[in-house]
Amino acid sequence: MEFGAYRGELVAFCYRMTGSFHEAEDLAQETLLRAWKARDRYDPERASVRTWLYRIAANACLTALEGRGRRPLPSGLGTPSEDTGAPLVPSLDVPWLEPFPDARFDVEVRADLRLAWVAAVQHLPARQRAVLVLREVLAFSAAEVAEQLGTTVPAVNSALQRARAALAGVGDAGELSEPDDREVRAVIQRYVRAFEAADVTALVRLLADDAILEMPPVPLWYRGARDYGLFIERVFRMRGGGWGMRQLTANGQPALAAYAPEPGGGRRLHTLQVFTVAGGRVTHNAVFGDPHVLEGFALPLRVEADGPQRPC
Protein backbone atom coordinates (compact mmCIF):
# COMPACT_ATOMS: atom_id res chain seq x y z
CA MET A 1 0.00 0.00 0.00
CA GLU A 2 1.53 3.33 -1.11
CA PHE A 3 1.06 6.33 1.21
CA GLY A 4 3.88 8.63 0.11
CA ALA A 5 1.81 10.29 -2.62
CA TYR A 6 -0.33 11.90 0.09
CA ARG A 7 2.55 13.45 2.02
CA GLY A 8 2.30 16.95 0.53
CA GLU A 9 -1.40 17.41 1.19
CA LEU A 10 -1.01 15.97 4.69
CA VAL A 11 1.72 18.52 5.45
CA ALA A 12 -0.61 21.29 4.24
CA PHE A 13 -3.46 19.97 6.39
CA CYS A 14 -1.26 19.76 9.49
CA TYR A 15 0.02 23.28 8.76
CA ARG A 16 -3.51 24.67 8.65
CA MET A 17 -4.17 22.95 11.96
CA THR A 18 -1.00 23.98 13.81
CA GLY A 19 0.26 27.13 12.07
CA SER A 20 3.78 25.68 12.07
CA PHE A 21 5.42 24.32 8.93
CA HIS A 22 8.08 22.43 10.86
CA GLU A 23 5.54 20.83 13.17
CA ALA A 24 3.34 20.01 10.17
CA GLU A 25 6.18 18.08 8.56
CA ASP A 26 6.69 16.08 11.74
CA LEU A 27 2.97 15.34 12.12
CA ALA A 28 2.63 14.29 8.48
CA GLN A 29 5.57 11.94 8.93
CA GLU A 30 4.01 10.57 12.11
CA THR A 31 0.74 10.03 10.20
CA LEU A 32 2.46 8.03 7.45
CA LEU A 33 4.36 5.96 10.01
CA ARG A 34 1.18 5.18 11.94
CA ALA A 35 -0.59 4.26 8.71
CA TRP A 36 2.24 1.93 7.68
CA LYS A 37 2.18 0.18 11.03
CA ALA A 38 -1.62 -0.18 10.87
CA ARG A 39 -1.87 -1.09 7.19
CA ASP A 40 -3.06 -4.63 7.93
CA ARG A 41 -6.05 -3.21 9.81
CA TYR A 42 -7.14 -0.86 7.01
CA ASP A 43 -10.62 -1.76 5.75
CA PRO A 44 -11.34 -0.51 2.19
CA GLU A 45 -15.03 -1.26 2.76
CA ARG A 46 -15.21 1.51 5.36
CA ALA A 47 -13.15 4.33 3.81
CA SER A 48 -10.78 5.24 1.02
CA VAL A 49 -7.07 5.33 1.79
CA ARG A 50 -7.16 9.14 1.65
CA THR A 51 -10.07 9.40 4.08
CA TRP A 52 -8.35 6.93 6.41
CA LEU A 53 -5.08 8.85 6.31
CA TYR A 54 -6.84 12.08 7.21
CA ARG A 55 -8.45 10.36 10.17
CA ILE A 56 -4.98 9.50 11.45
CA ALA A 57 -3.64 12.98 10.66
CA ALA A 58 -6.57 14.77 12.31
CA ASN A 59 -6.17 12.80 15.51
CA ALA A 60 -2.39 13.32 15.51
CA CYS A 61 -2.97 17.08 15.22
CA LEU A 62 -5.67 17.14 17.91
CA THR A 63 -3.35 15.29 20.29
CA ALA A 64 -0.50 17.70 19.51
CA LEU A 65 -2.76 20.72 20.12
CA GLU A 66 -4.10 19.61 23.50
CA GLY A 67 -3.60 22.32 26.11
CA ARG A 68 -1.81 24.59 23.67
CA GLY A 69 -2.53 28.19 22.75
CA ARG A 70 -2.78 29.54 19.23
CA ARG A 71 0.10 30.67 17.01
CA PRO A 72 -0.40 34.40 16.41
CA LEU A 73 1.08 37.14 14.31
CA PRO A 74 2.01 40.35 16.16
CA SER A 75 -1.03 42.15 14.70
CA GLY A 76 -3.24 39.62 16.48
CA LEU A 77 -1.93 40.44 19.93
CA GLY A 78 -2.65 44.12 20.48
CA THR A 79 -2.66 47.63 19.08
CA PRO A 80 -0.04 48.90 16.60
CA SER A 81 3.06 50.63 17.88
CA GLU A 82 3.37 54.38 17.39
CA ASP A 83 7.13 54.39 17.96
CA THR A 84 9.05 53.48 14.81
CA GLY A 85 12.27 53.69 16.80
CA ALA A 86 11.26 51.18 19.47
CA PRO A 87 13.84 48.49 20.37
CA LEU A 88 13.56 45.41 18.17
CA VAL A 89 13.54 42.79 20.90
CA PRO A 90 12.31 39.36 19.76
CA SER A 91 9.80 37.46 21.92
CA LEU A 92 11.23 33.98 21.54
CA ASP A 93 8.82 32.51 24.10
CA VAL A 94 5.85 33.11 21.77
CA PRO A 95 5.11 30.27 19.30
CA TRP A 96 4.61 32.55 16.29
CA LEU A 97 2.70 31.62 13.16
CA GLU A 98 5.10 30.41 10.46
CA PRO A 99 4.92 30.88 6.67
CA PHE A 100 4.47 27.97 4.26
CA PRO A 101 7.14 27.33 1.57
CA ASP A 102 5.13 26.95 -1.64
CA ALA A 103 8.02 25.89 -3.86
CA ARG A 104 8.39 22.57 -2.05
CA PHE A 105 4.85 21.40 -2.88
CA ASP A 106 2.47 20.94 -5.81
CA VAL A 107 0.18 23.83 -6.73
CA GLU A 108 -2.91 21.91 -5.61
CA VAL A 109 -1.50 21.53 -2.10
CA ARG A 110 -0.89 25.27 -1.74
CA ALA A 111 -4.54 26.39 -2.04
CA ASP A 112 -6.29 28.03 0.93
CA LEU A 113 -3.09 28.73 2.84
CA ARG A 114 -3.17 32.53 3.04
CA LEU A 115 -1.57 33.86 6.20
CA ALA A 116 -4.59 35.89 7.30
CA TRP A 117 -6.85 32.86 7.00
CA VAL A 118 -4.47 30.51 8.81
CA ALA A 119 -3.99 33.12 11.55
CA ALA A 120 -7.75 33.47 11.94
CA VAL A 121 -8.27 29.70 12.07
CA GLN A 122 -5.86 29.60 15.01
CA HIS A 123 -8.54 31.31 17.13
CA LEU A 124 -10.88 28.31 16.77
CA PRO A 125 -10.94 25.40 19.22
CA ALA A 126 -8.93 22.53 17.76
CA ARG A 127 -11.91 20.31 16.88
CA GLN A 128 -13.76 23.17 15.19
CA ARG A 129 -10.55 23.89 13.29
CA ALA A 130 -10.39 20.28 12.13
CA VAL A 131 -14.03 20.26 11.03
CA LEU A 132 -13.62 23.52 9.11
CA VAL A 133 -10.52 22.37 7.23
CA LEU A 134 -11.81 18.86 6.50
CA ARG A 135 -15.21 20.10 5.30
CA GLU A 136 -14.52 23.49 3.70
CA VAL A 137 -11.00 23.09 2.34
CA LEU A 138 -10.71 19.36 1.67
CA ALA A 139 -14.40 18.82 0.81
CA PHE A 140 -14.95 15.66 2.84
CA SER A 141 -18.61 14.91 3.52
CA ALA A 142 -20.11 15.42 6.96
CA ALA A 143 -20.36 11.65 7.34
CA GLU A 144 -16.67 11.20 6.45
CA VAL A 145 -15.63 13.89 8.92
CA ALA A 146 -17.78 12.34 11.64
CA GLU A 147 -15.97 9.04 11.04
CA GLN A 148 -12.56 10.75 10.98
CA LEU A 149 -13.15 12.56 14.26
CA GLY A 150 -15.13 9.85 16.03
CA THR A 151 -18.28 11.95 16.39
CA THR A 152 -21.74 12.37 14.82
CA VAL A 153 -22.94 14.15 11.70
CA PRO A 154 -25.06 16.62 13.74
CA ALA A 155 -21.99 17.44 15.87
CA VAL A 156 -19.93 18.03 12.72
CA ASN A 157 -22.58 20.31 11.23
CA SER A 158 -22.89 22.26 14.47
CA ALA A 159 -19.11 22.70 14.75
CA LEU A 160 -18.90 23.85 11.13
CA GLN A 161 -21.65 26.41 11.66
CA ARG A 162 -19.86 27.84 14.71
CA ALA A 163 -16.52 27.93 12.87
CA ARG A 164 -18.05 29.73 9.89
CA ALA A 165 -19.64 32.32 12.17
CA ALA A 166 -16.35 32.93 13.96
CA LEU A 167 -14.48 33.45 10.70
CA ALA A 168 -17.10 35.49 8.84
CA GLY A 169 -15.36 38.08 6.69
CA VAL A 170 -11.81 36.98 7.47
CA GLY A 171 -9.33 36.64 4.61
CA ASP A 172 -11.83 37.10 1.79
CA ALA A 173 -9.96 35.60 -1.15
CA GLY A 174 -12.23 37.48 -3.52
CA GLU A 175 -10.52 40.74 -2.57
CA LEU A 176 -7.02 39.37 -3.17
CA SER A 177 -5.07 38.68 -6.32
CA GLU A 178 -2.88 35.69 -7.06
CA PRO A 179 0.94 36.05 -7.15
CA ASP A 180 1.02 35.45 -10.92
CA ASP A 181 -1.55 38.16 -11.60
CA ARG A 182 0.03 40.75 -13.90
CA GLU A 183 -0.87 43.70 -11.67
CA VAL A 184 0.47 41.93 -8.57
CA ARG A 185 3.72 41.07 -10.33
CA ALA A 186 4.11 44.70 -11.37
CA VAL A 187 3.55 45.95 -7.80
CA ILE A 188 6.09 43.49 -6.37
CA GLN A 189 8.65 44.30 -9.05
CA ARG A 190 8.30 48.02 -8.30
CA TYR A 191 8.67 47.24 -4.60
CA VAL A 192 11.88 45.31 -5.33
CA ARG A 193 13.33 48.20 -7.34
CA ALA A 194 12.43 50.73 -4.64
CA PHE A 195 13.86 48.60 -1.83
CA GLU A 196 17.08 47.78 -3.65
CA ALA A 197 17.51 51.49 -4.43
CA ALA A 198 16.70 52.42 -0.79
CA ASP A 199 14.03 54.73 -2.25
CA VAL A 200 11.54 55.01 0.60
CA THR A 201 9.41 57.60 -1.19
CA ALA A 202 8.84 55.24 -4.13
CA LEU A 203 8.19 52.35 -1.79
CA VAL A 204 5.56 54.27 0.20
CA ARG A 205 3.73 55.11 -3.02
CA LEU A 206 3.09 51.38 -3.42
CA LEU A 207 1.38 51.05 -0.04
CA ALA A 208 -2.28 51.23 0.88
CA ASP A 209 -3.05 54.03 3.34
CA ASP A 210 -3.63 51.51 6.17
CA ALA A 211 -0.90 49.04 5.17
CA ILE A 212 0.35 46.77 7.97
CA LEU A 213 3.98 45.86 8.62
CA GLU A 214 4.80 43.18 11.20
CA MET A 215 7.97 41.29 12.01
CA PRO A 216 7.72 38.09 14.08
CA PRO A 217 9.47 37.18 16.36
CA VAL A 218 9.61 40.92 17.17
CA PRO A 219 6.15 41.62 18.67
CA LEU A 220 5.93 45.17 17.28
CA TRP A 221 3.72 46.01 14.33
CA TYR A 222 2.82 49.18 12.47
CA ARG A 223 -0.27 50.39 10.64
CA GLY A 224 -0.29 53.07 7.97
CA ALA A 225 1.94 54.03 5.06
CA ARG A 226 3.62 56.80 7.09
CA ASP A 227 4.87 54.56 9.92
CA TYR A 228 5.69 51.78 7.46
CA GLY A 229 7.93 54.20 5.56
CA LEU A 230 9.53 55.60 8.72
CA PHE A 231 10.43 52.11 9.86
CA ILE A 232 11.97 51.22 6.49
CA GLU A 233 14.02 54.43 6.68
CA ARG A 234 15.27 53.16 10.04
CA VAL A 235 16.23 49.83 8.45
CA PHE A 236 18.35 51.59 5.83
CA ARG A 237 20.01 53.76 8.49
CA MET A 238 20.85 50.65 10.50
CA ARG A 239 21.94 48.32 7.70
CA GLY A 240 22.77 50.65 4.82
CA GLY A 241 21.77 50.41 1.17
CA GLY A 242 22.68 47.78 -1.36
CA TRP A 243 20.09 45.18 -0.41
CA GLY A 244 19.10 42.40 -2.80
CA MET A 245 15.67 40.82 -3.15
CA ARG A 246 14.66 37.43 -4.57
CA GLN A 247 11.07 36.81 -5.61
CA LEU A 248 9.20 33.68 -4.55
CA THR A 249 5.83 32.77 -3.06
CA ALA A 250 4.69 31.68 0.39
CA ASN A 251 1.18 30.71 1.50
CA GLY A 252 0.03 31.25 -2.08
CA GLN A 253 1.07 34.92 -1.79
CA PRO A 254 3.89 36.95 -3.34
CA ALA A 255 7.02 36.93 -1.19
CA LEU A 256 10.54 38.30 -1.21
CA ALA A 257 13.71 36.96 0.35
CA ALA A 258 15.67 40.01 1.52
CA TYR A 259 19.48 39.88 1.49
CA ALA A 260 21.24 42.51 3.61
CA PRO A 261 24.63 43.91 2.57
CA GLU A 262 27.69 42.59 4.44
CA PRO A 263 30.66 44.80 5.38
CA GLY A 264 33.12 42.61 3.48
CA GLY A 265 30.98 42.37 0.35
CA GLY A 266 28.16 40.12 -0.71
CA ARG A 267 24.73 39.86 0.89
CA ARG A 268 23.37 37.58 3.60
CA LEU A 269 19.82 36.26 3.96
CA HIS A 270 18.03 38.55 6.40
CA THR A 271 14.26 38.07 6.23
CA LEU A 272 11.38 36.56 4.30
CA GLN A 273 8.64 39.06 3.47
CA VAL A 274 5.14 37.76 2.64
CA PHE A 275 2.86 40.29 0.94
CA THR A 276 -0.83 40.83 0.56
CA VAL A 277 -1.65 42.91 -2.51
CA ALA A 278 -5.15 44.23 -3.16
CA GLY A 279 -6.37 46.99 -5.44
CA GLY A 280 -2.90 47.52 -6.87
CA ARG A 281 -1.38 48.34 -3.45
CA VAL A 282 0.51 46.45 -0.75
CA THR A 283 -1.89 46.11 2.17
CA HIS A 284 0.15 43.81 4.42
CA ASN A 285 3.76 42.70 4.77
CA ALA A 286 4.62 39.95 7.27
CA VAL A 287 8.40 39.92 7.69
CA PHE A 288 9.86 36.72 9.16
CA GLY A 289 13.37 36.88 10.59
CA ASP A 290 13.66 33.69 12.64
CA PRO A 291 16.50 31.58 11.12
CA HIS A 292 14.57 28.41 11.98
CA VAL A 293 11.64 29.63 9.87
CA LEU A 294 13.91 30.60 6.99
CA GLU A 295 15.41 27.09 6.93
CA GLY A 296 12.10 25.74 5.65
CA PHE A 297 12.51 27.70 2.40
CA ALA A 298 15.91 26.21 1.49
CA LEU A 299 17.20 29.62 0.37
CA PRO A 300 20.90 30.33 -0.16
CA LEU A 301 22.29 31.97 2.96
CA ARG A 302 24.58 34.26 0.99
CA VAL A 303 24.61 35.75 -2.52
CA GLU A 304 27.09 37.92 -4.36
CA ALA A 305 26.26 41.61 -4.42
CA ASP A 306 26.44 41.80 -8.22
CA GLY A 307 24.70 38.47 -8.85
CA PRO A 308 21.37 38.16 -10.64
CA GLN A 309 18.34 38.54 -8.39
CA ARG A 310 16.24 35.84 -9.98
CA PRO A 311 12.78 34.73 -8.91
CA CYS A 312 13.10 31.55 -6.83
Please provide the average confidence, as pLDDT, over all residues in the chain: 92
310 pLDDT band, cuts 50/70/90, is low
Q: How many CA atoms lie within 13 A of 12 on its CB side?
A: 25
Instruction: Tell me the backbone φ, ψ of residue 223, rounded to 5 degrees.
Output: -125, 135
72 Ramachandran zone, left/alpha/beta (phi>0; psi -120 to 50): beta
Residue with more model confidence, 132 or 177: 132
The amino acid present at 212, given as its one-letter code, is I
Q: Look up the CATH number of domain 4-166.
A: 1.10.10.10
Rounded CA gap, 277 and 207, in Å? Answer: 9
Beta-strand relationship, 218-223 and 207-215: antiparallel
Rounded CA gap, 73 and 229, in Å? Answer: 20
- The 10 Å Cβ neighbour count of residue 244 is 25
Which sequence spans correspond to the domains of the chain?
4-166, 175-303
Rounded CA gap, 33 and 13, in Å? Answer: 16
What are 158-184's pLDDT values in tens digits? 999 999 999 886 654 445 557 778 999
Q: Give yes or no for residue 224 having a pLDDT over 50.
A: yes
What are 7-40's pLDDT values in tens digits? 999 999 999 999 999 999 999 999 999 999 999 9
Mean pLDDT of 123-137: 96
Q: Look up the CATH number of domain 175-303.
A: 3.10.450.50
> Cis (ω within 30 of 0) for the bond into 217?
yes
Strand pairing partners for 259? 244, 269
What are 50-107's pLDDT values in tens digits? 999 999 999 999 999 998 889 999 999 999 999 999 999 999 999 999 999 999 888 7
- pTM (2 d.p.): 0.93
